[in-house]
Amino acid sequence: MTVILAIESSCDDTSAAVIANGQVMSNVVAGQPVHEAWGGVVPELASRAHQQNIVPVVEKALRDAGVQKSDLGAIAFTNGPGLLGALLVGASFAKTMALSLKVPLLAVHHMRAHILAHFIEGPKPAFPFLCLTVSGGHTQLVVVKDYLQMEIVGQTQDDAAGEAFDKTAKLLGLPYPGGPLIDRHAQKGNPEAFSFARIKPRGLDFSFSGIKTSILYFLRDKVKENPGFIAENLYDICASVQKALVDILMEQLLNASRQLGIKEVAIAGGVSANSGLRQAVQQAAGTHGWRVYVPAFKYCTDNAAMIAIAAHYQYQAGQFASLDASPSPRAPFNG
- Smallest distance from the beta carbon of 136 to ligand KG4, in angstroms? 3
- Position 8 contacts Zn ion (CB under 5 A): no
- 274's contact among ligand KG4, Zn ion, none, with CB below 5 to 8 A by partner kind, is ligand KG4
The secondary structure of 191-209, three-state, reads CCCCCCCCCCCCCCCECCH
Angstrom CA distances, 101 to 72, 239, 268, 298, stand at 8, 51, 33, 30
**Closest CB to Zn ion among residues 125, 269:** 269
- Smallest distance from the beta carbon of 172 to ligand KG4, in angstroms? 13
**Closest CB to Zn ion among residues 213, 328:** 328
**Closest CB to ligand KG4 among residues 136, 154:** 136
- Position 78 contacts Zn ion (CB under 5 A): no
Kindly give, in sequence order, each residue whose CB lies less than 8 Å from that of residue 238, ignoring residues fewer than 6 positions away: 172, 181, 182, 183, 185, 186, 189
- Smallest distance from the beta carbon of 207 to ligand KG4, in angstroms? 17
Side chain identity, residue 82:
G
Q: Is the Cβ–Cβ distance between 268 and 300 less than 8 Å?
A: yes
Buried b (16+ CB within 10 A) or exposed e, 157-173: ebbbbbbbbbbbbebbe
* E-state strands within the chain: 3-8, 14-20, 23-30, 74-80, 105-109, 129-134, 139-144, 150-155, 264-268, 291-293
The SS3 call for residue 11 is: coil
- 166's contact among ligand KG4, Zn ion, none, with CB below 5 to 8 A by partner kind, is ligand KG4
**Beta 129-134 vs 264-268: how paired, if at all?**
parallel
Instruction: Identify residues 285-314 at the interface with Zn ion (CB under 5 A).
Output: 302
Q: Is the Cβ–Cβ distance between 101 and 72 less than 8 Å?
A: yes
**Closest CB to Zn ion among residues 218, 299:** 299
- Smallest distance from the beta carbon of 132 to ligand KG4, in angstroms? 13
- Return the residue of 9, 14, 78, 135 that touches Zn ion, per CB under 5 A: 135
- Position 9 contacts Zn ion (CB under 5 A): no
Q: Which residues pair with 26 in a beta bridge?
A: 18
**Closest CB to ligand KG4 among residues 98, 111:** 111
Q: Is the Cβ–Cβ distance between 215 and 209 less than 8 Å?
A: no
Q: Which residue minimizes CB distance to ligand KG4?
A: 270
Residue ranges binding ligand KG4 (CB under 6 A): 11, 135-137, 162, 165-166, 177-180, 183, 269-271, 273-274, 301-302
- 183's contact among ligand KG4, Zn ion, none, with CB below 5 to 8 A by partner kind, is ligand KG4
Q: Which of 332, 319, 335, 318 is nearest to 155 (CA)?
A: 332
- 165's contact among ligand KG4, Zn ion, none, with CB below 5 to 8 A by partner kind, is ligand KG4
**Closest CB to ligand KG4 among residues 104, 299:** 299
Which residues of the chain form contacts with Zn ion (CB under 5 A)?
135, 302
